[in-house]
Amino acid sequence: MLNNLKLAPKFTLLLSVVFISAIVISGIILSQTTQQKAEGEVASQGRLLMEMMNSVRDYTSVNVNPLLAPRLETEPKFIPETVPAYSATEVFKNLRENPKYKDFFYKEAVLNPTNLRDQADDFEAEIVNRFRKDSKSQEISGFRNLFGKQVFYTTKAISIKKQSCLRCHSTPEVAPKSQLATYGAEHGFGWNLKDIVGVQIIYVPSEEVFGIAHQYLALVMGIFIGIFALVILVINFLLKRTVIQQIRPMARLAQKISNDQMSSDQTAQSDIESLSRVAGKSDELGQLARLFKKMALAIYDREQSFAQQLKELHSKSEQMQSHTQSKNNRIAYLKALQQRAQMIRNKVKGSS
């Protein structure tokens, strides 16, 4: 089918195939790049918030805990502000009151927590076990569905690094009385130094980020398609103007030459004149037009010469036919006279 098309439609079709392939390949690459950029942006937000929570934990551990720790034995109710995990959780809770961060979530998920609100679910418990199997891992991140939405999570292991932490988590016997009064003796004990007991985990909403990324991808692809369509139209226009229109006189002359119409067709001379304008150029088409014009003129002159010779031969033939006819008429006339004279002689002989 492609071989049956003319040059302009064929070139447009091939160019469209090339551009469509380029658009598909560009779309795939751009989609992957946009996806990676969106994931990087979400991960960056999660890491930033994680560093902020670690700063709160460090501040509580260094500045707040030493001030309030002596009161744990005398107060009737446990003072949770002495616990770095509690401070970080409460600070993030206040952060979520900002509408911009209302869908973010921070949790210190522990397998055996003192405060049951920190109890790890099955998904978080699996991450804790992954850290335990590979203690060299610094971070585990990915995506999960939470509260009916897809969220990005980033986690860091919580391990017992200080001996002071074991005061509240080794055995109930050494724990502060206010802790036992508030949380009981059933949870949050049996921890050992260097144990990985849980994970810090931050959930970052990703649907909005990926939605923006998809809109950006659609916009860019729309611009690409518009540019490619415009390029096809411009190239097709320039092709017709600079190539096809200049080739058409050659094609028409070639058709007339193949049909032996150079001498009889009145438009041959105008095609040769059109070819002269192309032949005046210095590019490859101009060179081809000059050679073709030279050939066409030679054929046209030859055909004109043949036509003139044929006309002369036809005239001479008519003259010869006219002379022959006249001669035949005279012979016939003489024969008729002879026959008439013979008839008169016959009559004279009969009468005598």
Q: What is the pLDDT of residues 7-39, one digit of tens each?
A: 667 777 777 788 888 888 888 888 788 777 877
pTM: 0.58
Tens-place pLDDT, residues 196-210: 999 999 998 887 777
Helix (H) or strand (E) holding 339: helix 284-351
β partners of residue 150: 145
Sign, CA torsion 246/248/251/256: negative
Q: Is 162:57 a contact under the CB 8 Å cutoff?
A: no
Q: Which two tokens stand for residue 45?
A: 């937000």
Q: Give the DSSP H/E element, type plus range, for residue 342.
A: helix 284-351
State the Cα–Cα distance between residues 263 and 304, nearest whole angstrom.
Answer: 6
Residue 267 confidence (pLDDT): 58
Output b/e per residue, 235-267; b: 16+ Cβ within 10 A. ebeebeeeeeebbebbebbeebbeeeebbebee
Structural domain spans, the chain: 2-218
With cut-offs at 50, 70 and 90, classify the pLDDT of residue 238: confident
- Nearest Cα residue to 213 out of 26, 25, 37: 37
Q: Flag the least confident range among 218-222, 257-261, 280-284.
A: 257-261
- Region 141-157: mean pLDDT is 87
